[in-house]
Amino acid sequence: MAGGGAQTLRAQTPENAPLTFRGGVEAVTLSVTVRDQRGRPAMGLTRRDFVVLDGGTTRTIQGFVEDDAAISLAVLLDISGSMAVGGNIDRARRVVADMMARLQSGRDEAALLTFDSELQEVRAFTTDVARVAAVSLAGSPWGLTSLYDALAGTARKVAERPNPHRAVLVITDGVDTGSRLSAAEVSGLASEIQVPVYLVVVAAPVDNPARRLAMLSVDGRSQSTATLADLARWTGGDMAIVSTPAEFTVALDGLVAELRHQYVLTFEPDVRPGWHPIEVRTTRKHLDVHARGGYMSGSGAAMSTPE
């Protein structure tokens, strides 16, 4: 983390995996979380407490939504064949139920989608979150995992919701065998439509690396797990690996607190085509700022991020 309460998260795309989009960015929206030294949400900040650097240039913050707002959350549940191993599908079902218990019925809204070889909307967005928790997910998982394809479709649905605090929660075992898109492509797509992605990776206790709520590096990990961590970081989200009810509690309590107390900032983008790295700072000391690492700008032509 940079000094002065700043954190820079710059998306570095893997080699030979360019991102391509069409269209321009009229306004950049940033979902920003701020934590104190104990990892708790830092509340009560104002527009004047934030500085947005766009490629080193200070941008005027044109829109600002304070913390403690309603949440729009799409839960994307992996029901592919690999989830049958080690009781992971049962852990995933428990995560869904526990997450809905933390949302506020009538205020927050949630949707449930599942994926194996294709994306299916099981429950459309509703403020009656108990209806999401009550969905029957009986049966055995089957098929190939197409995580990144499913995530792209889900992120588009979330982007249409009116609440400023929006996110996708992906529950999976971290194995992606059937996707047609790379992690870099989908992280870029999620950043373009301004939706942070949070990942809960369920694992049997013997497979859990005991690094709850921590981003995983490529070194020493499987490529699939490292790729998921990269995706979460690029979109301004986070990742947790859980095995037990106690770990569910830590991960989901932290997730809800982070979503509830997001700060939403908007500013006018640089019109030059290409990838623009962003750094978000606070003027207050000893605060940890978390936001997506940049945006694509341009109009009428396909663009790629620099390698």
On whether both 227 and 275 belong to a single domain, the answer is: no
Domain count, the chain: 2
Residue 195 CA, distance from chain mean position? 7
On whether both 269 and 148 belong to a single domain, the answer is: no
What is the secondary structure of 183-247 as a DSSP string?
Answer: HHHHHHHHHHTT--EEEEEE--GGG--S-TT-PPPSTTS-HHHHHHHHHHHHHT-EEEEE-SHHH
Q: Are strands 28-35 and 288-290 parallel, antiparallel or unpaired?
A: antiparallel
On whether both 24 and 82 belong to a single domain, the answer is: no
Q: Is residue 281 part of a domain?
A: yes
- Of 27-31, 40-44, 234-238, which range is least confident? 234-238
On whether both 145 and 193 belong to a single domain, the answer is: yes
Q: Is residue 303 part of a domain?
A: no
Q: What is the pLDDT of residue 90?
A: 87
Q: Average model confidence (pLDDT) for the chain?
A: 77
The residue range of the domain holding 92 is: 71-260
Q: What is the pLDDT of residue 111?
A: 97
φ/ψ of residue 232, rounded to 5: -60, -45
- End-to-end distance of the chain based on CA atoms, in angstroms? 23
In the DSSP assignment, the letter for residue 2 is B
CATH code: domain of residue 121? 3.40.50.410
Q: Is residue 304 part of a domain?
A: no
On whether both 18 and 135 belong to a single domain, the answer is: no
Strands (E), 36-173: 50-54, 57-59, 63-65, 71-78, 109-115, 119-126, 165-172
Largest separation between any pair of C-alpha atoms in the chain: 53
On whether both 140 and 243 belong to a single domain, the answer is: yes
On whether both 141 and 231 belong to a single domain, the answer is: yes
On whether both 287 and 212 belong to a single domain, the answer is: no
- pLDDT tens-digit profile of 262-297? 899 999 999 888 888 899 999 998 999 988 888 888
Q: Is residue 132 part of a domain?
A: yes
- pLDDT tens-digit profile of 157-168? 998 898 888 999
φ/ψ of residue 32, rounded to 5: -120, 130
Contact between 76 and 92 under an 8 Å Cβ cutoff? The reply is no
CATH code: domain of residue 288? 2.60.40
